Structure 1
Amino acid sequence: MSTMERQTHSTDESVSVLVSRASRQISELVREEMQLARAEMTQKGKRFEKGGGLVGAAGLIGILAAQALVAACIAALALILPVWASALIVAAVLAAVAAVTAVAGKKQITEAGAPVPGKAIDSVKADLAEIKEKVQR
């Protein structure tokens, strides 16, 4: 075997080893990125759960406020001042509580952000940029 043939043969082996190693590393990288995405989506899901619960509580309290307003109207028709005035005060307090709860729920949902694994996507983009840079060398 000539020197040229030996160099070509050893180059072919090293290229196949490099391709095999790159394939294995890319597989590991994809698995790790998927784990990161799963963890990120779990965290965002918990925030949506909490925000949804607060919005649901605001809806329930809003219904109670509406019932108190109905009671206030009935009392206003039945009696001139004392009963409906107190019912109106209760309705105003319930409405204020519902407003505060709704704002807290909306804040939770807004802070959770879009249901997209942003960190994982940024990490994959960085990995792809690094791979392209190494391939170009």
Structure 2
Amino acid sequence: MSRSLDHPPRQDTEASVSELVKQASEQMSQLMRQELRLAQAEMKQKGKRFGMGGGLFGGAGVVGFIALQALAATAIVALDLVWPLWGSALAVAVVLLAVAAVLAAAGKKQVRQAAPPAPEQAIDSVKADVAEIKERAHR
């Protein structure tokens, strides 16, 4: 038997290993860049939705505030038939403050339960990539 069949030359083995390491490094770099682009795109989409939602809430708040003023004035005028004007205004103000407190508590609860503004898909993808790399490294 010839020596080249039994034991491949050391330089070829080192070259192959170094090429594999280089390829793995390039692939890891490319994968990380892709994951970062995914995270950036996800955060951009979430940011647009938060912005649009905030603008819509703002518009609803302005219109709601004007409507509430009209309703409060109507309620005060209606209660003026039964109580003095100052008593009617006080009663309407107390009711409005109670409604505001309930809405604030409900809003606080919703904000606490909101999903974190993190790129969840990208994070899950990176975790899966790391797990796959670890699994292949142990083989």
State TM-score, norm by structure 1: 0.64
User: Secondary structure of the equivalent of 2:118?
Assistant: coil
5+ residue gaps, structure 2: 83-102
Residue in structure 2 matched with residue 94 of structure 1 by the alignment = none
Counterpart pick for 1:54 among 29, 53, 56:
56
- 131, 134, 137: which one aligns with 1:132: 134
Give 3-state SS (helix, strand or coil) of 1:115's partner. Answer: coil
- How many residue pairs get aligned? The number is 114
Pick from 122, 125, 135 the counterpart of residue 123 of structure 1: 125
Match 1:28 to one of 15, 30, 41? 30
Q: How far apart, in 1, do the equivalents of 2:62 and 2:69 lie?
A: 11
Q: For residue 95 of structure 1, what is the aligned residue in structure 2?
A: none
CA RMSD in angstroms comes to 3.6
Which whole-Å CA distance do the structure 2 matches of 1:23 and 1:37 have between them? 21
Give a deviation string over 1:10-68, Cα, whole Å, max 9, x none: 22211111110011101110111111111111221122122212221232123213321
- Alpha-carbon separation, structure 2, partners of 1:73 and 1:124: 58
Letter of the 1:26 counterpart: M
Equivalents in 2 of 1:74, 1:133: separation in Å?
72
Distance 1:67 1:116 in 2: 39
Identity %: 52
Q: Which moved more, 1:65-74 or 1:121-130?
A: 65-74
Amino acid at match of 1:132: K
Looking at secondary structure, tell me which structure has more helix per residue.
Answer: 1
1:19 to 18, 21, 32: 21
